[in-house]
Amino acid sequence: MTVRIGVIGCGAIGFEHIKRITNTLSGAKVVAVNDINEEHAKKIVADLGLDAKFYADGHELVKASDVDAILVTCWGPAHKEFVLDGVEHGKYVFCEKPLATTADDCLEIVNAEVKQNKHLVQVGFMRRFDEGYVALKKAIDEGEIGTPLMLHAAHRNPVVDDKYTTDMAISDTMIHEIDVLHWLLNDEYVSAQVLYPRRTKRALKDLADPQIVLVETKKGVRIDVEIFVNCEYGYDIKCEVVGEDGIAYLPEPATVQTRKSASLNRPILMDWKQRFIKAYDHELQAFINNINQGKKLNGPTSWDGYAAALTSDVCIKAQQNPGKIMPINMKERPSFYK
């Protein structure tokens, strides 16, 4: 079977996903697109030679009988209405992060999905499909480093645009660590604290950059995450897990090392699209395969979307109270998601 996909939001990542479904992945095709920027969406359809209908109204796309699954890749504040609509129409939904912009909105989606009694939603936390993180998790799960005690992580972007605000360091950037780190450790977060180091001269006037977020888990693991979005030198993602018996590192992406002019050199990628290119392929291929094979979706769930949003909300409160430890009180996970 071919999964017929409708895409809502044809911007940066929407376009990337349309291209990968069309050119790289198997078992699906894009049959419908929507974007408030009609001209742009139609241009993508024409440029890629897609046999896809443009819908001026995203809700009409959701309802279309020839659309089996929807990709919600518009901007964050519009995710909730389309995800909910998709779930209520019994459609499979792949939603880019964030699932919704508040924890309460995520819970509404969770409740709608539980009511349908079917796993319909996968959230685009692609790092769970990254080969490096998967290998790191395997090493931890198999006890290679013993009980994890501490975790040091960094999320560095070369530069951000002038619309990027201090809270986005959490809600847009660190949200990936928020999701992947508790999955890695099989644990949950209980508190968060934010510290501001000396500011880089490269950050725009009102942006606090870098930032350090300290998180504690239920099992007592201490996590520190550095977020530095104007580091200039590259897009660099680090993760080091310190266990009782050893230390495990997230593998570096495979780039060619050279020896030249009395130095050893390895390029660093500049862009998230390249750094996680395979993870994006794997997450969407898994979504498509599970639908085609009638299997339960195996990626991050609506509940994971809620857990990330709640944690993000608390971290943002912690940003406003530097140094203060803020509790994270997660609701009880419904058995549907256990």
From the list ligand ISE, ligand NAI, none, partner contacted by residue 249 (C-beta under 5 to 8 A by kind): none
**172 near ligand ISE, rule: CB under 6 A:** yes
In the bound state with ligand ISE, the residue whose beta carbon lies nearer, of 173 and 319, is 173
Distance, CA of 43 to CA of 99 (rounded, Å):
27
In the bound state with ligand NAI, the residue whose beta carbon lies nearer, of 142 and 161, is 161
Distance, CA of 234 to CA of 268 (rounded, Å):
6
**Distances from the Cα of 309 to the Cα of 56, 107, 175, angstroms:** 29, 10, 8
Query: Scanning the structure block, which residue is given the tokens 């951000």?
Result: 160
From the list ligand ISE, ligand NAI, none, partner contacted by residue 157 (C-beta under 5 to 8 A by kind): ligand ISE
In the bound state with ligand NAI, the residue whose beta carbon lies nearer, of 73 and 217, is 73
Q: Sheet holding 236-243: strands in order across?
A: 247-249, 236-243, 148-156, 222-228, 211-217, 189-195, 326-327
For residues 148 to 167, the per-residue mask of contacts with ligand ISE, x marking binding by CB under 6 A and - elsewhere, is ---------x----------
What is the nearest approach in angstroms of ligand ISE to the Cβ of residue 315?
Answer: 15
Q: Please report, as ranges, the residues that interact with ligand NAI according to CB under 6 A.
A: 8-14, 34-37, 40, 58, 73-76, 78, 96-97, 124, 126, 172, 272
Q: Is 315 helix (H, G, I), strand (E, B) or coil?
A: helix
Candidates 91, 119, 176, 282; binder of ligand ISE (CB under 6 A) is 176
**272 near ligand ISE, rule: CB under 6 A:** yes
In the bound state with ligand ISE, the residue whose beta carbon lies nearer, of 16 and 60, is 16
From the list ligand NAI, ligand ISE, none, partner contacted by residue 173 (C-beta under 5 to 8 A by kind): ligand ISE
In the bound state with ligand ISE, the residue whose beta carbon lies nearer, of 165 and 292, is 165
From the list ligand ISE, ligand NAI, none, partner contacted by residue 12 (C-beta under 5 to 8 A by kind): ligand NAI
Quick one: tokens of 51?
Answer: 């046999």
**173 near ligand ISE, rule: CB under 6 A:** yes
Query: Scanning the structure block, which residue is given the tokens 């940066």?
Result: 12
Q: Which range touches ligand ISE (CB under 6 A), out of 33-41, 64-72, 169-177, 328-336?
A: 169-177
Among 9, 77, 13, smallest CA distance to 37 is for 9
Please report the sign of the dihedral spanned by the C-alpha atoms of residue 158, residue 163, residue 165, residue 170. Answer: negative
Distance, CA of 148 to CA of 262 (rounded, Å):
39
Pairing mode, strands 53-54 and 28-34: parallel
In the bound state with ligand NAI, the residue whose beta carbon lies nearer, of 78 and 149, is 78
CB atoms inside a 10 Å sphere around CB 190: 17
Interaction site with ligand ISE (CB under 6 A): 157, 172-173, 176, 272
